[in-house]
Structure 1
Amino acid sequence: MIEIPQSFVLTNADTPFPQVDLALTEPNGLIGVGGELTIERLIEAYQQGIFPWYSEDAPLKGVLKRNPILWYSPDPRMIITPNTLHISKSLQKLLNKNNFEIKVDQAFKEVIHHCKVVERKDQTGTWIDNDMIDAYIALHKQGVARSVEVYQDSKLVGGLYGVSMGKVFFGESMFSLVKNTSKFAFVYLIQTMGYELIDCQVENPHLKSLGAFNIERSAFIKLLKNLL
């Protein structure tokens, strides 16, 4: 059981998040528990470098709500920038073949649903439940959440979605039905959509191979303030 500070419990819609430097080290970055996935709460979270995640087991001492939303701001934070993007020779060859069509914001619902159900080697989509889907679709309708889609013969075969604010894209999840198509979407996002910072949240080998790297949370928060 995890002892949660009372200040972390978001009892009301207007309960503020604690300062991120108070986040727990175990689990890494936990900074809030509970609350609702409203547009206002999500925007407030991302502006402060915080993102939501559901807990399937919710082993939280003193928290009554079953399966509450957990809010995180991990340290370190994995990011990537246009200058650090690494494209391997093999990936560049695939990009040069130009066998896929890439679109933006044309199939957001389909992308997030695929991210929920498609199995990935380095990531599980089980934390994306129906409340999450509804919340990010609402953000998308406001122009805050965006998707990049990869098509082959007019069929959606890969993509990603996340939250767009200023010059920052907060990546949430990606999927591939055809090998490497999530990478195609990721490269397109970085090279053509004008973002100066891509938040990758926590380290994973897939993104590290593309040039993502860890920085201290304090440095990440400073970047946000300059780019939002």
Structure 2
Amino acid sequence: MPRFGKDFKMFDVILPTLSLDITDLLDDTLRQCSICQAVAEWECMQCYGDLDITPGHLKQYCQTCNTQVHSHRKRVSHKPVKIAVPQGPWSGPMHYTRQRMSLFAVTCIETSHYVSFVKHGPQASDWLFFDSMADREGGENGFNIPQVRACPEVCRYLGLSEEELSRVDASSLRESARRLLCDSYMCLYHSPELSLYKEILNDSSGSLDVFVR
């Protein structure tokens, strides 16, 4: 996101979205026609800036809608591209399994030092704040003391709508919320359904068993 020090911030506040729908960015995946919700077979880059057709959405069409859209005189010069569609008896409006990724961390920078907010559990309030240089021991030749602390209050702001956020006075925010919203630089997402984790068990014989799920 466009953040670099105090001298250049394109936006005073940036609200990270909690979920990203990446369905229409994936190859060889069923995609919906942006007009009739049937299976999309065509995509048109020249239509992207056309506010007359589903503004704010990718411009992807079924065969019928593609023909109708590009019959208009101002779009006859467009060059729609064929989309790879998985094999199957696809027809008519369909119910799709949307592929979504969830926010699990936000890296923030105010001037020259990065800090992070990291989600550590399933609850909306399960957020931690991490600062690798929160304190220092021994002066210039000493060492940094990191800090990790619970930060459940940020979930209140992450759940705000755009309209609600526009009414928030940034100067009145608590320190943690201010850093998250005013200094956010990079958002990290993952797919909960595809997440892997390791479970390490130490049995009585001293051997280690590792399970990857």
- TM value normalised by structure 1: 0.20
TM-score by length of 2: 0.21
Q: Greater CA radius of gyration, 1 or 2?
A: 2
Task: Give 1 or 2: higher helix fraction.
Answer: 1
